[in-house]
Amino acid sequence: MASWISLIYLLLALIYSSSNPLFESPDEAWHVAFAAHLARGGGLPVQRPGEEGPWRQEGSQPPLYYALLAGVTRLLGLPLEDLEQVYVPNPHACLGDATRIASRNQAVHGPEEAFPWRGAVLTLHVWRVVSALLGGLAVWSTVRMVSVLFPGESGWAAGSGLLVALNPMFLFITSSVNNDALAAGMAATVLWLLALRWAKGFSWGRAAMLGLALGAAPLAKLSGLTLWPVALAVLLAAAQREGQPRRTVAEALVVFGLSLGACGWWFVRNWRLYGDPTGLRVMLDIFGRRPVHIDILGEFQCLRWSFWGVFGAMNVLMPRWVYAVLDAWVGLAALGLFVLLVRALVRREPGASWAAALGLLGYVALHFVAFLRWTAQTMATQGRLMFPAIGPIALGIWVGWEEACRLLVPTRLRRVALPLPGAFLGTLALCAPFIWIAPAYRPPELPLPEKIANPVAATFGQEFRLLGYEMHPASLHPGEELAVTVYLEALGAPTRDWSMFLHLIDGQQVIVAQEDRYPRQGLVRASHLAPGERWAEAFRLQVPDTVPAPGQLSLRFGFYDLRTWERLRTWPSGDEAVLGEVRLEAWPGPYPNRISYVFGGRIELVGFDMPRRNVRPGETVLLKLYWRALGPAEHDYTVFTHILEPPSTIWGQEDRPPHVPTSRWQAGAVYEEAYALVVKPDAPPGLYEVEVGLYRPETGERLRLPDGRDYVLLGRIRVR
């Protein structure tokens, strides 16, 4: 059974590997860089913030996975000479943003990636096969673990194994170059060996294998350390059950002695280099730490969805109804599992199987706590980080679903209902590469109309011709979206990898919305376009809700070289084409520029007015704010208003408490406050942001918005 389920997984993993372009899974380019560095004889990276190598934060990872890939490369004589030519990063990539219709690709792909593979492309696909084999190890070990622990429940082993093998996200991650594949494989192997120890008893051979596997787990990924207390608990429980404390002490010395011997050097190295045995501090210094606030509901959704399938750089989704179905299924399974646990506690059911179930549940809980600790330090709320515990999780879902069927489904329908979620998951697993993953990286064929509604006679150097455009609606409100389609032609073979820009500019020449990308929805380098090629580019520009209205917005388009910022000149003069104008209408209401930002659950910014946004150094920006009290405020807060050069340089400000202290504001009342922000005389020309918020003057603590921010950006001003 374990073999054929693993075979199903491997066949699907090969489909995922060949369907997903290289470098289009989370951090794959950086995992590749680490492995290539080792394969070329470079040794382990030494991490220095501000001097990051091509492996970025992944250079802080334990080295076993990368050493395995390097060993395979040297053993087979695989080529890597052209790796740097194969990997072309997309400078306009929209990572983590699933709302974008373009630039979802992390890399720009060319014909060198086409089959038959050669050079570094072949090597990277071999590396992906190695990852898939490690994922297959996780599937096989999961089935064997469940079979050993619950020999009377053959359906549990098959069900849990299939839930692992058919998980689209597990297939996606373990068919790419990512150390999560080895982490999942080693964790499942350790759990299988612990199951053998618990069910089959003591042997020195099993103790030695367990020790080596426990040592390899944290060398795959630091999350492998969560297996150590679980292993210790199993050995202690076995000692109590078997009445052999001396033998258990010797067994534990062998197991943990081998474990420390296998991985201890890694922690000693980190301690000497970074003063931190885990190396996580320097990893966070490179990757970045999260803000203090955590959006629990939003991140819980991301955790659930990305456990089952959020592809690409966390920006390619399945339809939302798919996640709703999976949520409902897991909810029913959780209900069934809860009923089983309560029933077992009430009946006080003894036995090795019950203890094994508690042990697996404890491991999932321990791994989840470690996951929460990690994601509390950095933005990493991704379901794939739970894959080292995917076997016990799958077992719990399957057993809980069986019980839910017994509780909720009539007897005659249970045989039909029981396999339905597995069939649904299998359908998703088979369809995902063809319906969602591969199409995300295929340039869309947007047909050019026979007659373009708004023809434009504009050429950009000797490279491109703008044929025309379409846009709708003709007028919109702040916070709404403008859809634009631009029709283009390559006049000759473009000489550089030009980027396109589409700007929405207000009457004071301030950019209120923009999108920059490579051609063909960000998927094709301009130098790869064929002479005479015509195509359509679809844009979606979101107008911020903080853009002052009413007003007239101008739509402008052009090309530039990202390396030099040089723009292509248009004929007869200029460096951009003016496409048309859009009317920005104000939302109806009792005050200008209606918005809604709630600070601390008590104070709402409901409107603002900023009539002048084009100034010179030394001049004043007048700002009027409208605050509404939603309830009594505990303290007297000060309002801060800043003219800010991103990310944090202040070039003008006025901080003061409102005329009526916030502790005396009446619920439902609106309070109008005017501020005068003087631009510093030495402010350099450019675009600046206007930032507002509230804080306690005694402590400096700022009130926060529901999304965790402690400020609102009220558009931009231009300093001339």
CA 516 to chain centre: 21
Question: So what's the pLDDT on residue 646?
Answer: 81
Q: Which pLDDT value is given to residue 348? A: 66
What's the pLDDT tens digit per position in 425-484?
999 999 999 999 999 999 888 888 888 889 988 999 989 999 999 999 999 999 999 999
Residue-level pLDDT at 703: 93
**454-584 and 594-719, same CATH topology:** no
What's the pLDDT score for residue 352? Answer: 63
DSSP state of 424: H
**What dihedral angle (degrees, nearest 10) is formed by the CA atoms of 357, 359, 360, 364?**
130
- Residue ranges in the chain modelled with pLDDT below 70: 291-297, 348-352
Residue 316's pLDDT is 96
Q: Which CATH architecture has domain 594-719?
A: Sandwich (2.60)
The C-alpha atoms of residue 266 and residue 646 are separated, in whole angstroms, by: 39
pLDDT at 241: 87
CATH number of 454-584: 2.70.50.60
- C-alpha span between 667 and 633 (Å, rounded): 9
Per-residue CA distances from 700 to 388, 637, 645 (Å): 42, 10, 21
Tokens of residue 427, six digits = 């359908």
Could you tell me the residue ranges of all domains in the chain? Answer: 2-436, 454-584, 594-719
Query: pLDDT tens across 22-72, in order?
Result: 999 999 999 999 999 999 999 999 999 988 899 999 999 999 999 999 999
Q: What is the pLDDT of residue 647?
A: 78
Q: Exposed e or buried b for every residue in 260-282, given b needs 16+ CB within 10 A? A: eebbeebbeebeeebeeebbbeb
In this prediction, residue 277 carries a pLDDT of 95
pLDDT at res. 508: 79
User: What pLDDT, on a 0 to 100 scale, did the predictor assign at position 564?
Assistant: 94
Element (H, E) at 710: none
pTM for the whole structure: 0.92
- Measured over all CA atoms, what is the biggest interatomic distance in the chain, rounded to whole angstroms? 93
